[in-house]
């Protein structure tokens, strides 16, 4: 999440809402968000119900949830997914921003509907 904070303004420039789901309960999640002054939206998912729908792996031998990044376009379609193999396997902000830029270019190239 620290990585997302570093380039948060670049995500906003790409007309993107950053939503981070975490395994903590609501109280722990609120405390973490306040202590770390995170600028994006956080959603507690202690039962893993939301990201299971997107295929995120839970591996108890690797200390819980494996990282997953899912990019959903404005029509609600999943356009990019990265499933990490361990806690450090996450795409860089530059990789995600490149995907967002491409999606925005595709959207802007479509004739008005």
> How far lies 8's CA from each of 16, 17, 84, in Å?
9, 10, 21
Domain 2-107 belongs in CATH node 2.30.130.10:
no
The pLDDT value recorded for residue 10 is 95
Chain segment 44-75, per-residue pLDDT in tens:
988 888 877 877 766 555 556 677 888 888 88
> How far lies 12's CA from each of 6, 21, 54, 65, 93, in Å?
12, 18, 23, 27, 13
The pLDDT value recorded for residue 3 is 86
The pLDDT value recorded for residue 16 is 92
Q: Where are the domains of the chain?
A: 2-107
- Under-50 pLDDT residues of the chain: none
The pLDDT value recorded for residue 63 is 57
The pLDDT value recorded for residue 51 is 77
């Amino acid at each position: 999440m620290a990585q997302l904070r570093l380039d948060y303004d670049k995500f906003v420039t790409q007309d993107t809402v950053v939503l981070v789901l975490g395994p903590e309960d609501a109280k722990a999640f609120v405390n973490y968000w306040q202590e770390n002054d995170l600028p994006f939206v956080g959603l507690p998912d202690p039962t893993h119900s939301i990201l299971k729908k997107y295929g995120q792996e839970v591996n108890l031998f690797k200390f819980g949830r494996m990282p997953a990044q899912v990019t959903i376009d404005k029509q609600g379609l999943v356009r990019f997914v990265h499933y990490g193999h361990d806690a450090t396997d996450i795409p860089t902000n530059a990789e995600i921003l490149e995907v967002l830029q491409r999606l925005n270019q595709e959207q802007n190239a479509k004739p008005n509907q």
